[in-house]
Copies of this chain bind each other. A is one copy, B any other.
Amino acid sequence: MNSLRLTVNVVIFSLREDALQVLLTPANTQTWALPEKSVEPDESLEQSALAAFSRLPRPPEIYLEQLYTYGDPGRIPGQRIVSAVYFALIPMDVRGTESGAMAWHRLDRLPGLAHDHAEIIAYALRRLRYKLEYSAVGFELLPDEFTLSELQQTYETILGEKLDKRNFRRRILEAGIIEATPHRRSGDGRPAQLYRYRPDAVAEVKARRLFP
């Protein structure tokens, strides 16, 4: 008989329609909320987090990381709920994510949010931007094979600033964390070389910010 409840929330980011978006679930007629799940006595926090957005095609390609645990009494009126919040990235080519009533929302046009969820999302975004600068997290939002232009657009969208094309390519390629595949992608203009991420090369990422 403990009047304290433990839940897990997940901030799920993806790039959709050239914008960074979060997956939300309706809280009531006015507001939306982060996907949530009670932590069962026999399941790990990470398992709970994955269960919070279970219906997805969920291959290894989902990046999941613990973000922060929110537990102030009063963060949810009338109840004492401690929430371990996780942070997830879904590649832009994964479909069928809007299971049930969940829907994607652009970060620059967020709806009204329940409790402290706006604050949580703001923090998750800061963390995503920050991680982008010193880790290889950007690739978790891309398909297995991607062009350098797509990679650059991903960085630009998340950081909210334009990057120089030549410098971007030089640094990414010199870092050795991607490699060309035998494929090319045809589109409007000249077809582009496709690259793939080399997870084995990530160990080399230093605290020094290797890529843009």
A42 adjacent to B73 (CB under 8 Å): yes
Q: A71 an interface residue at 8 Å Cβ cutoff?
A: yes
**1/0 contact string of A157-199 vs chain B (CB within 8 Å):** 0000000000000000000000000000000000000000000
A133 to chain B: which residues have CB within 8 Å?
207
Task: Given contacts A39-B82, A42-B80, A71-B84, list 19 more A-B pairs with CB under 8 A.
Answer: A1-B2, A2-B5, A2-B41, A3-B41, A4-B6, A4-B39, A4-B41, A39-B71, A41-B73, A43-B73, A44-B71, A45-B72, A66-B69, A69-B84, A82-B84, A133-B207, A134-B207, A207-B209, A208-B209
9 A-B contact pairs sorted by A residue (CB < 8 Å): A1-B1, A2-B5, A3-B41, A41-B73, A42-B73, A66-B68, A69-B69, A69-B84, A71-B84
Interface residues in chain A, defined as those with a beta carbon under 8 Å from any beta carbon in chain B: 1-6, 39, 41-45, 66, 68-69, 71-73, 80, 82, 84, 130, 133-134, 207-209
